[in-house]
Amino acid sequence: MLILLWPMLVFSEFKPWILFEAQSLQASWQFLASFVPPAHSGEFLQLLMVATWQTVAIATAGLTLALLCAIPLALLATESLSISMLETGRMRLAGGLIRQAARWLLVLLRSVPELVWALLFVRIVGLGPTAGVLAIALTYGGMLGKVYAEILDSSDVHGTETLLKNGSGRLAALFYGALPEAAPELVSYTTYRWECAIRGSVVMGFVGAGGLGQRMDESLKMLAGDEVASMLIIFVLLVGAADWVSTSLRKRLG
């Protein structure tokens, strides 16, 4: 245990005493003391509201674009709508290749962390919410697409199969068989991801992708404790509200 722990402590430069050195104690104390009272001038609160809305908007717009990219990819990646799978238990070569390609694309999209996408997009499109929206769209597109395909594959396929066997088209079978079967699970997962996207969009603000995160980064750099304090409060409330909205929506479905 110690043999493992020791190099870990060294690598992570674990020196708790730093925290208690006079200099850093003083800095922390000054910073913490400036938390009270939180900034509450009208002008600042207005700024904060705009930033908060921007955070929610980035998450919502990003997730909408993510849906546009996830749905077609999930339909390509799922096995439940394959007619050749029904006939022989195997997929035709072309269909199988397309399916594998869609899966690899989904893996690639979601393996790169959203923050890295955001860093790259900030370089391409410049500072601002556009980078955040694109980063969420790509990462969450990958996650949603993969999970949608899994949900479609694991839900009851009897209805879909029968429709296909009776000669209905693949998309029609999706809307009349697979979707009514899996809709609650799909919607519930999407709401959960929306909640995650709100948290993600705050984080991406730290690399310059707009919203609450960017403001917080600026205030932290200026050591403006009172502003940081009100932002943290707003942020905890925002996350709590998103959590509440998404759980109550999921309860309604369940």
Near another protein in 102-161, by CB under 8 A: 111-113, 115-116, 119-120, 123-125, 128-130, 133-134, 156, 158-159, 161
Reduced to 3 states (helix: H, G, I; strand: E, B; else coil), residue 128 is: coil
Least Cβ distance, residue 43 to another protein (angstroms): 20
Least Cβ distance, residue 136 to another protein (angstroms): 11
Residue type at position 214: Q
Residue type at position 1: M
Least Cβ distance, residue 231 to another protein (angstroms): 9
Near another protein in 164-203, by CB under 8 A: 165-169, 171-173, 175-177, 180-181, 183-184, 199, 202-203
Segment interacting with another protein, rule: CB under 8 A, options 40-48, 68-76, 145-153, 229-237? 229-237
Token look-up 């009349």 returns 176
Euclidean distance between CA atoms 71 and 186, whole angstroms: 11
Single out the residue of 51, 81, 152, 163 in contact with another protein (rule: CB under 8 A). Answer: 163
User: Exposed, middle or buried by CB within 10 Å (0-12, 13-18, 19+), for 217?
Assistant: middle
Least Cβ distance, residue 18 to another protein (angstroms): 6
Single out the residue of 47, 71, 91, 220 in contact with another protein (rule: CB under 8 A). Answer: 220
Least Cβ distance, residue 226 to another protein (angstroms): 14
Residue pair 203/185 in contact by the 8 Å Cβ criterion: no
Compute CA 151 distance to the chain's CA centroid, rounded to the nearest angstrom: 18
Tokens of 170: 């693949």
Q: Per this entry, what is the length of the chain?
A: 254
Residue pair 149/78 in contact by the 8 Å Cβ criterion: yes
Told to check if 68 binds another protein by CB under 8 A, we report no
* Nearer of residues 148 and 235 to another protein, judged by Cβ: 235
> What letter would DSSP give residue 126?
-
Near another protein in 8-67, by CB under 8 A: 8-15, 18-19, 24, 27-28, 31, 53-54, 56-58, 60-61, 64
In this structure, the dihedral spanned by the alpha carbons of residues 85, 90, 94 and 98, taken in order and rounded to 10 degrees, is 70
Single out the residue of 77, 109, 151, 216 in contact with another protein (rule: CB under 8 A). Answer: 216
